[in-house]
Amino acid sequence: MPPYAPTHLPYGLTDPSKRTIRNPGFKDEATFHKYGIETAGDRFFVGTTVQGGGGDNGTKTFVLRKGETYTVKPGEWHRFFNPRLDETMLFGAKVAPAHQGFEKLLYIY
């Protein structure tokens, strides 16, 4: 695998207020706890909060309960959805190895 060679500093490194991305359309927000550049490309970690009814449930559904995990394979299409209108869903996502293009995608999605 080629070495991790980012082409720019992530937005949240130069302006800490930009570590959190809010998407009112999907009723979610994501906070970068670690960017790939902070882990020498090993991974990046995002904590996500989804309000009740938020996200995008797509066509295939399975439920993770507290403490359960799921590994998304490279190239696997995935989405998330919070069906509970009365509760906020919290989850963490680790992307390993880090991928600067995916970090950028989160900012424009």
- pLDDT of the residue at 81: 81
pLDDT at 1 over 60: no
Helix (H, G, I), strand (E, B) or coil at 38: helix
Q: For 108, which DSSP code?
A: H
- pLDDT of the residue at 76: 80
pTM: 0.80
Read off the pLDDT of residues 14-64 as tens digits, 9 standing for 90 and up: 899 999 999 888 888 999 999 999 999 999 999 998 888 877 766 677 778
In angstroms, the CA 86 to CA 26 distance is 16
Cβ neighbour number for residue 19 with a 10 Å cutoff = 18
CA 63 to chain CA centroid, Å, is: 18
Read off the pLDDT of residues 69-87 as tens digits, 9 standing for 90 and up: 888 888 888 778 888 888 8
- pLDDT of the residue at 35: 94
Structural domain spans, the chain: 11-108
